[in-house]
Structure 1
Amino acid sequence: MNSQSSRGLFQAVLLGMYFGFATYIASAQPVSENLTAQVDQIVAAHQGKVALYAEALATHQVLAVHADVPVQTASVIKLAMLYEALEEIRAGKARWDEPIVLKKEDQVGGSGILQFLDAPLTLTLRDVLTLMIDLSDNTATNLMIDRFDVASVNTRMESIGLPNTHLYKKIFKPSTEPMPADQPKFGLGKTTAHEMASLITRFSRCELSSGAPTASDLSLCSTAVEMLQHQFYRDAIPRYLESLDSSEHGTAIANKTGSLNAVRNDVALIGTKKGLLVLSVFTYDNVDQSWQSDNSAELMMGRLAKTIIQSWAPDGLSPDTLKQVPATR
C-alpha cells in the first residue's frame, strides 16, 4: 500500500470514529449504500449507544458499528458458560445426564424459575443449562459457575481468541476472589459485539477444539443450537422476523438476550433461504429504562434485524438452515 493510500485509509478510519456510526469491514461482497444508510439512520435515532456486528456467513458480507468496543454483556455472557460446558462434555469431564443438586442457599432472584421451586432438588446438567439459556435463569447460571468455575470460562475465551469476553462472578452473590479494576463498570461480564458474534458462530460451525468436528461434536453443537432456538425472550431481534408461533411451527432464530435497566442486548443465529446470518447487537446508556414489551432499545434492535434481513435475505427465513451444522465456513 502506498503512502497516499495509507493516509486515505487512516483518514477514513478517523472519520468513522468521529461520526460514531457505521464502520464497514471489508467483505467478500460489498454492503449496499442503501443498507448502510438505513442502519446509520436507525442507530442515530436511538436514544442510547449501540454496538453491532452482523455477518452473512455464506457471502462474508459484514456490517459493523462500534463492533470492537467493550460493552456490558448482562446475561449474554451465559453463552460463554454454555460453550465451556460443551468443551467439558467433549473432553469427558462432564455429562449431559450428570446430577446437579439445587440447594436452598443457591436460589437467587432476577430472571428464572429455579428460585421458586422447592429445594433441595436434583436436576441434570442438561436441565440446568437449558434453564440458563432459555429462561436466562440466574440460579441455574450460578450452579453452572459452581460446576465449571469462572477461571475456566475466561481461560477458554482467551484460548479461542476472545480476549475481551470475560465473566466476572456469580449473579447476586459476593465474589470470593479479587475483582479486576473494570468489574464495577461491566458488572456480570464484558464482551464486544464482534467477539460475541464470533462465539455464537462457533456453535453453528461446531468449532469446539482444533480439527474437524466429529459426529459426537456435531451432536453437542446441535443440542446447544436447539437450546438457543427455544429462547423465551423474543422481543428484540426476532420481533419483526417471525409472524407464526415458533413453538408450533419451529423457529429460524437461535438467540440469547441480556438486559439491565439501561442495557438491552441480543445475539442471534438467523436461518434464511440465503444461508445463515449472525447478528450481535448491544445497547447501553439507554434513556428508556422501562421493562415493557415496547422498550425502545428492543424495538430498535427489531428494526435493525428486519432491515438487514430484507437486504441480505429478501426471500425470508428458513428453520432448516439452523439444522445444517456445521454451517458454511
Structure 2
Amino acid sequence: MKNYEKLVEKIEKYVTNQNANISVSFCDLKRDFTFNVEGDKKSPSASMIKLLIMAEVLDEVDKKKLSLNEKYIISPHNIVEGSGIVFELEEGHEFSLKEIIKLMIILSDNSCTNFLIDLVSMEKINKMGKMLDLKNTVLQRKMMDLESAEKGFDNYTSSNDIMNILKLIYDGKLINEEMSSIALEILLCQKLNYGLKKYLPEELKLASKSGDLENLENDGGIFFTDTCDYILTVLVNGTKNYIAKDIIAEISKMVYCFMEV
C-alpha cells in the first residue's frame, strides 16, 4: 500500500515555496485515491477550455446532429493567429470534423476552436459544463477575442474540473464509451506536451491538454505507466512562463517517481 501522505506533504511543501499561484489535482485511477492543492480555485483556463468544447461537439456527434466525417471550410471570420496552423494555410482548405477537433486539441488551433464554438454555440458548451458538474469551468469568449477580454470576459476552469473531465474520459463516461474512446484517441496524439512530460521518459503514454497565456501555464493529462494509471493536473499563473513550465514539470516528476516505486 502506497503512503500517499508523503507525496501530498512533498507537493504541498514545494507549492508553498513557489512564488506563484498553483493548483494541483491528482487521481490514482487504480487505487481510487485523490488529493488536491487549491483544486477548486477558479483560474483562467487558456486552452484547457478546449476539452469542454470537444465534449459538446462529441455529444452532438453521438446525437447524430453532426458527423465526424463531414467536411467543412474554416470561414475567414474564424481564422485567428496564436496557437495552431490553420491561419498559415491557404483559404478554402477542407477539413473533416474529426480533423478540426484533432487540430484544436493536439496543436491547440485557435481557428478550429472558434469554428467549433460557432458550430455548436457557446450556450450549449456551457450547458455541457454544468451537465458534467464542472463547477468552475465556463466559456465566455472566443479565442483571441481581445475586445471581449478587455471588457472582462474570460474563460475559466480549475484543476479539479480538468481532473474530473479527464476521469470521465478514462472511465468511458464522457457522453458514453464510444465518445470517450474518440476523445482519448485524440488526446493521445498531443504534440504540445512540454510541461507534464518534460522530465519523464519519452516513451511514456500520456493523453493530455495544455494551455498558456502570458504568465500562465496549465497542463493536465492521463498517464499510462507499466505499474499504474493516474491523472495529474497542474495550473500555474502569476509568474514567468518558463518558471511556470518548470513548476509543472517538477511536480509531474515528483508524482511519476512516487508512482513508479
- TM-score range (shorter-chain normalised) is over 0.9
Describe how 1:64-75 pairs up with structure 2 within 5 A: 64-75=36-47
Local SS of the residue matching 2:230:
strand
Q: Does 1:203 align with 2:169?
A: yes
Alignment deviations for residues 268-322 of structure 1 (CA, whole Å, 9 cap, x no partner):
0001233320111101111x24xxxxx11111111111111222233xxxxxxxx
Local SS of the residue matching 1:166:
coil
User: Who is 1:191 aligned against?
Assistant: 157
User: 1:235·1:299 contact (CA, 8 Å) conserved in 2?
Assistant: no
Local SS of the residue matching 1:51:
strand
User: 2:42·2:158 contact (CA, 8 Å) conserved in 1?
Assistant: yes
Alignment deviations for residues 71-107 of structure 1 (CA, whole Å, 9 cap, x no partner):
1100000000111111111111111111221233321
Q: Does 1:53 align with 2:21?
A: no
Q: Of residues 222, 233, 237 in structure 2, which corresponds to 1:280?
A: 233
Q: Of residues 240, 245, 249 in structure 2, which corresponds to 1:302?
A: 249
TM-score by length of 1: 0.74
C-alpha deviation, 1:152, in angstroms: 0.4
Describe how 1:102-121 pairs up with structure 2 within 5 A: 102-121=74-93
Local SS of the residue matching 2:53:
helix
Local SS of the residue matching 2:80:
coil
Q: Does the C-alpha gap of structure 1 residues 32 and 275 become closer, same or farther in structure 2, counting only changes over 3 Å? A: closer
TM-score by length of 2: 0.93
Describe how 1:153-168 pairs up with structure 2 within 5 A: 153-168=125-140
User: Who is 1:254 aligned against?
Assistant: 207
Structure 2's unaligned 5+ residue stretches are: none
CA separation in 2, counterparts of 1:132 and 1:243? 23
Root-mean-square deviation (CA, aligned residues, Å) is 2.1
User: Who is 1:263 aligned against?
Assistant: 216
CA separation in 1, counterparts of 2:38 and 2:174? 27
Structure 1's unaligned 5+ residue stretches are: 1-28, 245-250, 290-294, 315-329
CA separation in 2, counterparts of 1:89 and 1:273? 33
Letter in 2 for 1:307: M
User: Who is 2:196 aligned against?
Assistant: 237
Q: Of residues 185, 210, 224 in structure 2, which corresponds to 1:226?
A: 185
Is the radius of gyration larger for structure 1 or structure 2? 1
**Corresponding pairs, count:** 261
User: 1:237·1:305 contact (CA, 8 Å) conserved in 2?
Assistant: yes
CA separation in 1, counterparts of 2:182 and 2:159? 24
User: 1:42·1:300 contact (CA, 8 Å) conserved in 2?
Assistant: no
User: 2:75·2:115 contact (CA, 8 Å) conserved in 1?
Assistant: no
C-alpha deviation, 1:206, in angstroms: 1.5
| Worse-superposed segment, 33-42 or 192-201 | 33-42
